[in-house]
Structure 1
Amino acid sequence: MLIIKELPILNYNIKKWHKENKIISLIPTMGNIHDGHLKLISEARRKSEIVIVSIFINPIQFDDINDLLIYPRTLKEDYIKLQNSMVDMVFIPEISQMYPHGYKNQTIVKVPILSSILEGIRRPSYFQGVTTIISKLFNLIKPNFAYFGEKDFQQLVIIRKMVSDMNFDTIIIGVPTVRNKDGLALSSRNNHLNKQEIKLASYLNKVMDYMANQLIINKTNIRQIIIASKKMLFEKGLIPDGLTICDEINLKKLTPTSKNAAIIVAVKIGNTRLIDYKKVIL
């Protein structure tokens, strides 16, 4: 497994692999590798000759400096997991490599409208930080495929829109969320939860199942479904910080022609904020 930190060495290997017509897949991460990431790698390995994982804790997608400072950094453990998963390259650049003129002076890539709704209201810098760094990685690596988890569903929709608008020659593949035995979606933020909070957080998936079942029964009763779901969360001590039922394609309100719905939720448990997603076939 190659561990690359410098752009010239990255460029050398990427040009070599492209010249050899290798099929390249990219899994962008911020590290703290867990089974959700390993699922992305496993899916990528099925389609690719070269699997690259990037690890970069991107400062411009944090609205709160404290979140950036406490973000888990587990490089030694990450390397072992990636090595065992037969990853070909780990790209782990310093901030100075990705933002040589300082990240406050960096040109920004922003997908309009989609970046300003739902999570974008609560985290105004987040999505433009994501699309900026992803566009840089795509330009550097030019992957045939890029893999993202569906838990961050709004992010996935935004990246697909960016790829379409900017004519990137990369196919975006969403991979279903990996959950623990109690239904909790795997996330780096779970590290901030104690054992009691972990158990409590698993209730979020049960509420999403309730929302999905109610939606299938009557997709015009969205307001009542959300009200009832918020009450269920509050009763368990989970603080709702965003419950949305929308069209899976454009994140707008459901219409009679909507084929699939997206349930997108966010809750607070203590000082930790968790997000999740569930698809509903209408």
Structure 2
Amino acid sequence: MQTVHTIAELRAQLIGARREGRKIAFVPTMGNLHCGHMSLVEEAGKRGDLVVSSIFVNPLQFGANEDLDSYPRTLAEDQQKLEAYGCHLLFAPSVHEIYPRGTEIQTVVEVRSLSDMHCGMSRPTHFRGVATIVAKLFGIVQPDIAVFGKKDYQQLAVIRQMTEDLSLPVEVVGVDTARESSGLAMSSRNGYLSEEQLKVAPTLNQVLQDLVSSLKQGNRSFYTLEEQANQRLEAAGFQRDYVHICNRQTLQPATSGCRELVILAAAQLGPARLIDNCEVFLDDHE
């Protein structure tokens, strides 16, 4: 695996692959990689001939008082993992390389409406930062395929909408959430949790699984179910952000006639903001 740090170097490396007609599969990350990221790299290897990954801690998607400065930078370890899982080329640019004029006057991409709900309510600039960096990376790498995890379900929806709206020639692929044996969704921010908090953290997924069971049993009192879930999380030691039962396609609040749902949740546990989701497919008789 080769690591490059500039756009010019990256493009020079990809010229030959394009001439040969090789399919480029791209996995953008912020580093501090875990097994969930590796599952994305493996999927990229199945779908493309050349696997490109990026590591860039994007300042535009961090809000005030968030963990931009403390977010773990583990490039050497990440390089070893990527190479072991079949990545061919790593793009690890500096902030100046990506935003040479600074972030204050950087052109931004905003996916309206979809970015304003759920996580967007408590992190109002987050998805603008996500859409901007992904659009920029798509322009730099020009991949045929880009692979993302479903753990960041709203993020994936924002990226898909942006790609469609801007007519970008990239196939966006979502991969199921990688989990610990406890059910906890793998996340780089899990490293912020203490040993005791790691014992509590799987409660988030347990609460969502119980919501799935209630929905499959025919309970359509969505607001009541959401409130009960938040109360369970608070009783376990979480600080509530939201639990929302949504239409899977639009991420708007679910209605009683919806057959394809997704439960989206976010909650603070100590220093870590944890997110998770569960897709729910109801039979006509449920």
User: TM-score of the superposition, structure 2-length normalised?
Assistant: 0.96
Aligned equivalent of 2:46: 46
CA contact (8 A) 2:42 2:86 kept: no
Aligned equivalent of 1:162: 162
Does residue 86 (structure 1) correspond to residue 86 (structure 2)? The answer is yes
Which is helix-richer, 1 or 2?
1
Secondary structure, counterpart of 1:132 in structure 2: helix
- Equivalences for 1:166-245 in 2 at 5 Å? 166-245=166-245
Does residue 151 (structure 1) correspond to residue 151 (structure 2)? The answer is yes
Aligned equivalent of 2:124: 124
Amino acid at match of 1:40: L
- Equivalences for 1:95-134 in 2 at 5 Å? 95-134=95-134
Amino acid at match of 2:59: P
CA contact (8 A) 1:56 1:93 kept: yes
Within 2, Cα distance between the matches of 1:219 and 1:40? 35
Within 2, Cα distance between the matches of 1:70 and 1:219? 42
Q: How far apart are 1:229 and its partner, in Å?
A: 1.1
Superposed CA RMSD? 1.1
- Equivalences for 1:47-66 in 2 at 5 Å? 47-66=47-66
Amino acid at match of 2:118: L
**How many residues are paired up?**
282
**Structure 2: gaps of 5 or more residues:** none
Amino acid at match of 1:184: L
Amino acid at match of 1:153: Y
Q: Relative to 1, partners in 2 of residues 1:162 and 1:183: Cα closer, same or farther, differing over 3 Å?
A: same
CA contact (8 A) 1:215 1:225 kept: no
Per-residue deviation, residues 35-67 of structure 1 (Å, max 9, x unmatched): 000000111111111001100000011003551
Give runs of ≥4 in structure 1 deviating > 3 Å.
none
Amino acid at match of 2:75: L
* More deviation, 68-77/248-257: 248-257
CA contact (8 A) 2:5 2:94 kept: yes
Q: How far apart are 1:142 and its partner, in Å?
A: 1.2
Amino acid at match of 2:275: I
Secondary structure, counterpart of 1:246 in structure 2: strand
Q: Relative to 1, partners in 2 of residues 1:71 and 1:249: Cα closer, same or farther, differing over 3 Å?
A: same
Secondary structure, counterpart of 1:242 in structure 2: strand
Q: How far apart are 1:257 and its partner, in Å?
A: 4.9
CA contact (8 A) 1:145 1:172 kept: yes
Within 2, Cα distance between the matches of 1:73 and 1:120? 25
Aligned equivalent of 1:278: 278
Amino acid at match of 1:108: V
Secondary structure, counterpart of 1:250 in structure 2: coil
Identity %: 37
Within 1, Cα distance between the matches of 2:81 and 2:3? 13
- Equivalences for 1:67-78 in 2 at 5 Å? 67-78=67-78
Q: How far apart are 1:104 and its partner, in Å?
A: 1.2
Within 1, Cα distance between the matches of 2:32 and 2:108? 26
Secondary structure, counterpart of 2:167 in structure 1: coil
Q: How far apart are 1:234 and its partner, in Å?
A: 1.8
Amino acid at match of 1:37: H
Aligned equivalent of 1:36: 36
Per-residue deviation, residues 166-202 of structure 1 (Å, max 9, x unmatched): 0011111110100001010000110100111011001
Aligned equivalent of 1:3: 3
Within 2, Cα distance between the matches of 1:257 and 1:54? 41
Amino acid at match of 1:122: S
Aligned equivalent of 2:24: 24
Amino acid at match of 2:90: V
Q: How far apart are 1:271 and its partner, in Å?
A: 2.4
Per-residue deviation, residues 190-240 of structure 1 (Å, max 9, x unmatched): 010011101100111110001111112225211121122122212211222
Per-residue deviation, residues 139-186 of structure 1 (Å, max 9, x unmatched): 111111111111100000110000100001111111010000101000
Amino acid at match of 1:81: K
Does residue 254 (structure 1) correspond to residue 258 (structure 2)? The answer is no
Amino acid at match of 1:53: S
**Structure 1: gaps of 5 or more residues:** none
Q: Relative to 1, partners in 2 of residues 1:49 and 1:68: Cα closer, same or farther, differing over 3 Å?
A: same
